[in-house]
Amino acid sequence: ISAKPGVCPIFSLDGAVLKPCLKLCFLDRNCPDDEKCCSNGCGRQCMPPYKGVCEELCSQDGDCLNDEKCCSNGCGHQCMAPSKGVCPRKALGIGLCHVLECVDDIDCPNDEKCCSTKCGLSEVCMEPLRDLVVEK
């Protein structure tokens, strides 16, 4: 079972509000035509794929300087500093979801990590567990 070509648009925080999480699809094959099953910040819904150009600024860690790693940025790849620590265990998702706060660790303040919750596909900034250094 393969995903449809293209990438999901990055969810915008503009106008985001606390709302019930609805999973209107689970896989791309649940969506009509070329639409993909994408996160809407809390649940999932069918959306047209991103039509812009996804820059591939690296293809492997060796393309990056210092200790940076070649990582997905949601639409292509770029060199990023390795993430320190790991996300704590997923919080229980009861009732309403958190509003999507982040897409990647770089969106979080200080040294917090962008971590998923059990409620939909909501991502929130959290203090990492610092026992490990994790390469993305």
Among residues of the chain, what percentage have pLDDT more than 90?
A: 8
Q: What is the pLDDT of residue 19?
A: 60
Q: What is the pLDDT of residue 23?
A: 82
Q: What is the pLDDT of residue 134?
A: 45
Report the chain's mean pLDDT, rounded to a whole number: 74
SS3 101: coil
pLDDT-wise least confident of 6-15, 52-61, 122-131: 6-15
Q: What is the pLDDT of residue 112?
A: 83
> Is the predicted pLDDT of residue 133 greater than 70, yes or no?
no
pLDDT tens by residue, 26-39:
888 899 999 988 87
Q: What is the pLDDT of residue 58?
A: 92
Q: What is the pLDDT of residue 15?
A: 53
Contact 88, 115 (CB under 8 A): yes
β-bridge pairing 77-80 and 36-39: unpaired
Alpha-carbon gap, residue 50 to 40, rounded angstroms = 14
